[in-house]
């Protein structure tokens, strides 16, 4: 500073100090946000015990003074023979969608992959082989409350299956319903690319004879499809027949469903609705990852029923050669599951909850893995410093969800189904609204409850998978459960 006056020197020094004072905290925030190349979910965030008893071990999954249980031990009966065996081969492919070719993936040469069908109570065994998917694959059974070892979450319950390698999944199909399976390794990219399929579990004993139809909605490279076809799906059946139409939304956004004739909401996310009533007019909103079973009756006059799956695609149900049905206008009214159907016992008392959590979704500036930006937050924290919900087997759990992030978020809890108690402070009055995928609109609040009856380490994340990849991921952890698997590591596990 030679030649500068004292005043200039002081001003320069003040400017330098001010710069340091501004940049030093930013540098610390940047450094603190860096995610290790290899880390365990057991060390993420801070343990939140929801007001219940806690432990004081270093990692969340450890219980001081008590034996630990690895996720690898949480399996279906290892000596029971499989009732349903399926082989799946995951491979890269170019998908032909009308005049457009889209790079993606297949299972057994198709996308969606084969529909897996089982009867309630059967043991399903799936042999997955990765042919050439370079980043590895892992199959998650969306909506099926499988034992934790079979959940298919890379880095949490297994390692990603690398090219040339295999993995076996075994689980009992305990609950009848409509489900789906998809990759949970780099899921945002691999699900979008087509590593997915449907799983249908029919009840035992069988219900009265009806036509059973499936429509899986997916968008490949901007091309919307039903069952992998860029066009309407036709279900040929005789006049007067009853039809169960199973709809699966595998995309990141909502799907609106409405019909040219009345329909009944038979089941949501694999759970039957108690005493459903016919719906005439309103549309049904199907959340990302969600499923709904609709009951239809084919007219006796030889005409067909058209069920719109958002604009531009439909399932047409009716006799062969039935005249075309014009697309009905999209309704403004919506089916409200908060009041649809009739009340019934849920099997536990939420008022006796032993764990009470808050899950507050926001959007704020900060750093995630050294990257500055606006990021999704949970309870004010950014990934990976997001609180982990800690429970013990047998706990009755309530969660208050609120969303003030500016966007809707379809939240998906692995390994459990929860029931909606209230939305925006209004108590549920209809059939118990059981879900594993719940769309939480911006500005909305939900109070939900479930019983912690499936030990393990379970993701609870946004099923807009791009949001999950940007850090909207929480884990539900049972005390005493640990995992040997890590995010990153030699096989580069990355569930989002």
Q: What percent of the chain has pLDDT over 70?
A: 91
Tally of helices (H runs) and strands (E runs) in the chain: 3, 37
Q: CA 35, CA 226: separation in Å to the nearest integer?
A: 39
Q: Which residue, among 337, 333, 346, has the nearest Cα to 428 in the 3D structure? A: 337
Residues 6+ apart with CB under 8 A from 204: 119, 120, 121, 176
| CATH code of the domain containing 132 | 2.60.40.420
In this structure, the answer to whether residues 74 and 195 fall within a common structural domain is: yes
What global pTM score does this model have? 0.93
Q: Is residue 3 part of a domain?
A: no
pLDDT number for residue 58: 43
Burial class (CB in 10 A: 0-12, 13-18, 19+), 358: middle
Among the three residues 173, 206, 239, which one is the final residue of a domain in this structure? 206
438 closest CA partner among 456, 455, 421: 421
What mean pLDDT do residues 436-457 have?
A: 99
Contacting residues for 192 by C-beta, under 8 A, at least 6 apart: 104, 219, 220, 465
Domain hosting 398: range is 38-64+344-488
Please indicate, yes or no, if residue 102 is contained in any of the structural domains: yes
Residue 20 pLDDT class (50, 70, 90 cuts): very low
DSSP H/E element including 331: none
pLDDT in tens, 295-339: 999 999 999 999 999 989 999 999 999 998 999 999 999 999 999
* Better-predicted residue by pLDDT, 130 or 18: 130
**Which one of 335, 365, 392 terminates a domain?**
335
What's the CA gap between 82 and 282, in Å, rounded? 43
What is the rounded CA–CA span in Å between residue 98 and residue 126? 31
Is 30 inside any structural domain?
no
Residue 65 backbone zone (phi > 0: left; psi -120 to 50: alpha; other: beta): left
Question: What digits encode the pLDDT tens for the residues 366-383?
Answer: 998 889 999 999 999 999
**Sign of the Cα pseudo-torsion (52, 53, 56, 57, in order):** negative
Give the pLDDT confidence score for residue 24 in this predicted structure.
Answer: 57
The b-or-e profile of 79-94 (16+ CB within 10 A means b, else e) is: eeeeeeebebbbbebe
Per-residue pLDDT reduced to its tens digit, 379-417: 999 999 999 999 999 999 999 999 999 999 999 999 999
Q: What pLDDT, on the 0 to 100 scale, is given for residue 1?
A: 53
Domain co-membership, 369 together with 304? no
Q: Are residues 133 and 57 in the same domain?
A: no
Last residue of a domain, which of 190, 206, 222? Answer: 206
**Together in a domain, 196 and 292:** no
Q: Say how many residues make up the chain.
A: 496
The predicted-structure confidence for 106-127, as pLDDT tens digits, reads as follows 999 999 999 999 999 999 999 9
For residue 402, list its beta bridge partners.
360, 445
Count how many domains the chain has: 3
């Amino acid at each position: 500073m030679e030649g500068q006056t004292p005043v200039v020197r002081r001003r320069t020094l003040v400017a330098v100090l001010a710069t340091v004072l501004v940049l030093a905290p930013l540098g610390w925030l940047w450094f603190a946000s860096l995610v290790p190349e290899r880390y365990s979910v057991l060390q993420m965030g801070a343990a939140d015990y929801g007001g219940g008893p806690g432990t004081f071990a270093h990692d969340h999954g450890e219980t001081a003074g008590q034996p630990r249980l690895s996720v690898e031990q949480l399996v279906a009966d290892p000596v029971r023979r499989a009732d349903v065996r399926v082989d799946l081969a995951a491979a890269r492919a170019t998908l032909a969608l009308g005049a457009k070719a889209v790079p993606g993936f297949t299972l057994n040469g198709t996308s969606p992959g084969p529909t897996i069908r089982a009867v309630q109570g059967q043991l399903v065994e799936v042999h997955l082989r990765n042919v050439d998917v370079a980043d590895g694959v892992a199959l998650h059974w969306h909506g099926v409350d499988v034992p934790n070892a079979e959940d298919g979450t890379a880095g949490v319950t297994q390692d990603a299956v690398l090219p040339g390698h295999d993995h076996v999944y075994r689980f009992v199909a305990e609950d009848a319903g409509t489900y789906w399976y998809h990759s949970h390794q780099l899921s945002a990219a691999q699900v979008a690319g087509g590593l997915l399929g449907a799983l249908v579990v029919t009840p035992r004993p069988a219900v009265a004879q009806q036509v059973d139809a499936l429509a899986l909605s997916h968008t490949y490279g901007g091309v919307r499809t039903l069952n992998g076809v860029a066009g309407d799906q036709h279900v040929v059946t005789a006049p007067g027949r009853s039809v169960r139409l199973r709809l699966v939304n595998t995309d990141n956004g909502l799907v609106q469903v409405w019909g040219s004739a009345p329909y009944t909401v038979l089941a949501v996310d694999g759970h039957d609705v108690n005493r459903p009533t016919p719906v005439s007019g309103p549309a049904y909103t199907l959340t990302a990852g969600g499923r709904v079973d609709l009951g239809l009756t084919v007219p006796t006059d030889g005409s067909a029923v058209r069920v719109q799956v958002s604009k531009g695609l439909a399932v047409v149900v009716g006799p062969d050669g039935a005249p075309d049905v014009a697309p009905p206008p999209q309704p403004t009214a919506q089916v409200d599951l908060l009041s649809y159907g009739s009340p019934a016992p849920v099997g536990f008392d939420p008022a006796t909850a032993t764990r009470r959590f808050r899950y507050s979704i926001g959007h704020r500036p900060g750093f995630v893995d050294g990257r500055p930006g606006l990021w999704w937050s949970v309870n004010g924290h950014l990934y990976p410093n997001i609180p982990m919900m800690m429970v013990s087997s047998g706990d009755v759990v309530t969660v208050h969800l609120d969303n003030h992030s500016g966007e809707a978020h379809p939240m998906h809890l692995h390994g459990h189904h929860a029931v909606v108690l209230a939305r925006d402070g209004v108590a549920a009055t209809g059939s118990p609204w059981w879900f594993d995928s719940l769309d939480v609109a911006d500005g909305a609040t939900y109070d939900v409850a479930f019983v912690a009856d499936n030990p393990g380490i379970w993701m609870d994340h946004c099923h807009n998978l791009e949001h999950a990849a940007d850090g909207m991921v929480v884990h539900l952890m049972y005390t005493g459960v640990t995992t040997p698997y890590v995010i990153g590591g030699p096989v580069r596990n990355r569930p989002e």
